[in-house]
Structure 1
Amino acid sequence: MVEQKHSKTKTSFYRRLYIAYLIDRGINTVPAITATTGMPRRTAQDTLSALHELGIECEFVGATKDGHYQIQQWGPINQSWLTDNLTLIQRTLDYPAL
């Protein structure tokens, strides 16, 4: 089977959507995100910082040591599409199924 190479634009977009999805499902700290996806800590932090570029409002709630991220507003993102295409996103990013 030939492995398909995806563009950086596509993988970056999917990564942002996936992290927002995880946060919305309670996997909402950097350690939990890195444990679930296997992505480096810095990538997780950079992706969290970039969610606003998609119109997703995400804020950190609580104290530094025991706080978590929370999606306040999904903006133009269709959550139904995201849920329906979760397997495609996970395969594209080479992340394990939840």
Structure 2
Amino acid sequence: MWQAEQVTKQQIAFLRKLYLAHLIDDGQHNLLSLQKLTGMPRRTVQDALAACSDIGIQIAFVQDGVRNNSGYYHIQTWGPINSAWVGTHLSQIELLLQIPAAPSS
């Protein structure tokens, strides 16, 4: 895949979209849970989710409650992206994005 010292901003943005899509496809997540899992700022997560359609990934917000922000994101389609590839390379993606390790139980 990529070498950490050679990764461009555009590649990081692409990997961020893939990573968030993987998390959404793996469980019911809202903005807050994605922030906590990734350690990314709220605005970064929002911008990446909004830009996923640029690479063909269609994400919808499923309203699940009375409040406007009660609900979760759902992948409608991965488009041209192979979701299995993302799962296979997940540890490399996390390393390149500097995602904090999950706390041990």
Q: TM-score, normalised by structure 1?
A: 0.90
Query: SS at the partner of 1:4?
Result: helix
**Residue 5 of structure 1, CA deviation:** 4.9
RMSD: 1.5
Matched, 1:82 2:86: yes
**Mapping of residues 16-55 of structure 1, within 5 Å:** 16-55=17-56
Percent of paired sites with the same residue:
42
Question: Are the counterparts in 2 of residues 87 and 97 from structure 1 also a CA contact under 8 Å?
Answer: no
Gaps of 5+ in 1: none
Gaps of 5+ in 2: none
Q: TM-score, normalised by structure 2?
A: 0.85
CA deviation string 1:3-54 (max 9, x = no partner): 7252001100000000000111115211001000110000000011001001
In structure 2, the residue matched to 1:14 is: 15
Question: Could you tell which deviates more after superposition, 45-54 or 5-14?
Answer: 5-14
| Alpha-carbon distance between aligned partners in 1 of 2:98 and 2:6, rounded to the nearest angstrom | 11
Aligned residues: 96
Tell me the amino acid that sits aligned with residue 75 of structure 2.
I
**Residue 66 of structure 1, CA deviation:** 1.3
| Alpha-carbon distance between aligned partners in 1 of 2:82 and 2:59, rounded to the nearest angstrom | 16
